[in-house]
Amino acid sequence: MKTVICVKIFLTFYFCLFTFYFYDLLSKRIVANLKFEKMMIKDFGARVVSVWEGLRPMTKKMLVGALQANSGNAPTQKFSYDTHADWELSRLLGALDEQAKDADIKKDALKLREIKQLAATCAEVLQTKTESAEVFIQLATRIVKRNDFNKLDALADVLLKRFSASEIAEIIRQTESAHIRAIAFETLALVPTALIFPLLQDPIYHEIAHIALEQQAFEFDNPEAQNLLEQLDFEEMNGE
């Protein structure tokens, strides 16, 4: 009988403790969400507010969750991600970076720190998820301006793991940065020759693909690339 009573007391205590922990955690998340929304709309400037209000609820939730995870207030959560979220976060990151340059913002250390914190969170999510040439250029340009070469190396690793050959070629075509172009060319040269070959058929990427194949053939002694270049030279000589 005493054992049963002890077990009941223990279970009741455990249940109360768990309930308290759950509601405490929930209340902290609610407060953090409200604080985040207030901070965004009230303090970050008209352009940031305009972009923020245009975000879908799922994108806002994803950002708040990522910000809380980075601050240690909540575990990392999984969110759905699509090309529209990519575009939304890219726009928000651009607005935040622009606002951080504002003279009045620079005078307010707390506000500037919060803007940079949110911008860093946007950049982190984008780096983890994006497969877009335009977004890669945006992220790489930010890093180059800061001379943070460790982050640039980490971003370059993303290219080979997640980007298609055509998107890498598009980075080379679009970027105005010699540094970013060099990274993209180095990465494209590591892509299997069979995936570079289709780019030769596209007038926009033909020259880029040809340069990548030459790098494979002469720097890496890739026999497949060498044979392909010989075939291209033969076709050009015969006017094909």
Number of domains in the chain: 2
pLDDT for 45 equals 87
The token pair at 160 is 């080979």
Of 40 and 234, which is predicted with more confidence? Answer: 234
Contact 199, 165 (CB under 8 A): yes
Tell whether 111 and 169 lie within a shared domain. no
Contact 67, 12 (CB under 8 A): no
Asked whether residue 142 is assigned to any structural domain, the reply reads no
Examine the pLDDT at 138 and tell me if it is beyond 80. Answer: yes
The whole domain housing 231 covers 161-240
Asked whether residue 30 is assigned to any structural domain, the reply reads yes
pLDDT tens digits for range 26-52: 334 433 444 455 555 567 888 999 999
Examine the pLDDT at 13 and tell me if it is beyond 60. Answer: no
Residue entry with tokens 């892509």: 191
The token pair at 221 is 């002694």
Examine the pLDDT at 210 and tell me if it is beyond 70. Answer: yes
Tell whether 46 and 122 lie within a shared domain. yes
User: Rounded to whole angstroms, what are the CA distances from 228 to 19, 186, 189, 224?
Assistant: 67, 19, 14, 6
Contact 190, 160 (CB under 8 A): yes
The distance from CA 18 to its chain's CA centroid, rounded to whole angstroms, is 36
Tell whether 231 and 172 lie within a shared domain. yes
pLDDT for 40 equals 56
Of 56 and 36, which is predicted with more confidence? Answer: 56
pLDDT for 10 equals 46
Asked whether residue 191 is assigned to any structural domain, the reply reads yes
Phi/psi of residue 30, nearest 5 degrees: -65, -45
Tell whether 227 and 185 lie within a shared domain. yes
Examine the pLDDT at 3 and tell me if it is beyond 90. Answer: no
**Cα Rg of the chain, angstroms:** 25
* pTM, 2 dp: 0.81
pLDDT tens digits for range 86-117: 999 999 999 999 999 999 889 999 899 999 99
Contact 157, 143 (CB under 8 A): no
Cβ neighbours of 135 (radius 10 Å): 20
66 CB contacts (<8 Å, ≥6 apart)? 76, 121, 124, 125
Cα–Cα dist 144/134, whole Å: 15
pLDDT for 44 equals 86
The token pair at 115 is 């803007």
Tell whether 177 and 239 lie within a shared domain. yes
Asked whether residue 140 is assigned to any structural domain, the reply reads no
Asked whether residue 119 is assigned to any structural domain, the reply reads yes
Q: Is 225 exposed, middle or buried (0-12, 13-18, 19+ CB in 10 A)?
A: buried
The token pair at 201 is 């058929």
Residue entry with tokens 């860093």: 120
